[in-house]
């Protein structure tokens, strides 16, 4: 466990420790309602809930809870050891140590969120991960030797721009495609989608939960 934490995470953990028993129970209950699916660009889906008695309606403690789940999913440190490292890192006052340790354990033991965190960890375990894509199409005229004359024809070019993350850094590459290339790419993506649908049915028959990415 790191000896120092980002200030936002440290503050969120302190707020979790200081919640009243009623507010923490409310928070824990709402965490348990989060569906087993991955929300792109936000990780956990269904987090539009508020927690009473917290200045920012619970945003900081939600962020802290999700950071806990994702951090442990990557390290698989035992919960007790994980909690001890957190408390040492934030320098929590003694009166709140036991409270935070117990509450961290309760958050990390929510099986549905632990499953989502592990799934996200596996999903991103690649050198490069997709971020976004865009296609810019343009018409390129074909001129004769005399460029003062009207074009004799034109071709269409589709520039596919793909953004991706590598080692936490956003990169981009651009590739030119003609109409035949676009059709080939569409067929390839449709085949990928069909295979995904088939595998989902297979998992459903085998009672293996499919973790949806939305």
Average pLDDT of the chain?
Answer: 86
Over residues 24-35, the pLDDT tens digits come to 999 999 999 988
What average pLDDT does this structure show over 127-142? 92
Residues 115 and 147 in one domain: no
Whether residue 213 is contained in a domain is answered as no
User: How crowded is residue 51: how many other Cβ atoms within 10 Å of its Cβ?
Assistant: 20
Higher confidence at residue 153 or residue 84?
153
Residues 103 and 149 in one domain: no
Residues 110 and 164 in one domain: no
Residues 68 and 154 in one domain: no
What average pLDDT does this structure show over 44-48? 80
What average pLDDT does this structure show over 201-211? 81
Return the SS3 of 52: coil
Strand-pair partners of 179: none
Domain that holds residue 172: 127-185
Side by side, which strands form the sheet with 212-213?
A: 43-44, 37-39, 212-213
Contact residues for 51 (Cβ-Cβ < 8 A; gap 6+): 19, 23, 26, 27, 30, 57, 58, 61, 62
Residues 39 and 100 in one domain: yes
As for how many domains the chain has, the answer is 2
Residues 80 and 172 in one domain: no
Residues 118 and 14 in one domain: yes
Residues 116 and 163 in one domain: no
For residue 2, is pLDDT > 50? no
The pLDDT, as a whole number, for residue 4 is 67
Higher confidence at residue 40 or residue 70?
70
Whether residue 16 is contained in a domain is answered as yes
Can you give the pTM of this predicted structure? 0.70
Whether residue 113 is contained in a domain is answered as yes
Over residues 139-163, the pLDDT tens digits come to 999 999 999 999 999 999 999 999 9
For residue 65, is pLDDT > 50? yes
For residue 1, is pLDDT > 70? no
């Amino acid at each position: 466990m790191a000896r120092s934490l980002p200030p936002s995470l440290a503050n969120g953990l302190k707020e979790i420790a200081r919640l009243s028993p009623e507010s923490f129970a409310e928070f824990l209950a709402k965490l348990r309602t989060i569906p087993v699916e991955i929300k792109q660009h936000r990780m956990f889906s269904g987090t539009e809930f508020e927690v009473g008695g917290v200045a920012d309606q619970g945003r900081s403690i939600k962020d802290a809870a999700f950071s806990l789940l994702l951090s442990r999913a990557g390290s698989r440190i035992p919960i007790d050891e994980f909690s001890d490292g957190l408390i040492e890192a934030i320098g929590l006052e003694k009166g709140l140590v036991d409270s935070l340790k117990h509450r961290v354990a309760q958050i990390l033991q929510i099986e549905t969120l632990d499953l989502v965190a592990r799934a996200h960890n596996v999903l991103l375990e690649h050198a490069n991960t997709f971020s976004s894509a865009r296609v810019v199409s343009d018409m390129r005229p074909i001129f004769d030797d005399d460029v003062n004359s009207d074009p004799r024809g034109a071709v269409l070019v589709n520039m596919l721009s793909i953004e991706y993350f590598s080692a936490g850094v956003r990169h981009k590459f651009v590739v030119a495609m003609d109409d035949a290339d676009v059709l080939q790419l569409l067929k390839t993506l449709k085949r990928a989608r069909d295979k995904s649908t088939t595998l989902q049915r297979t998992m459903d028959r085998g009672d293996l939960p499919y973790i949806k990415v939305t």
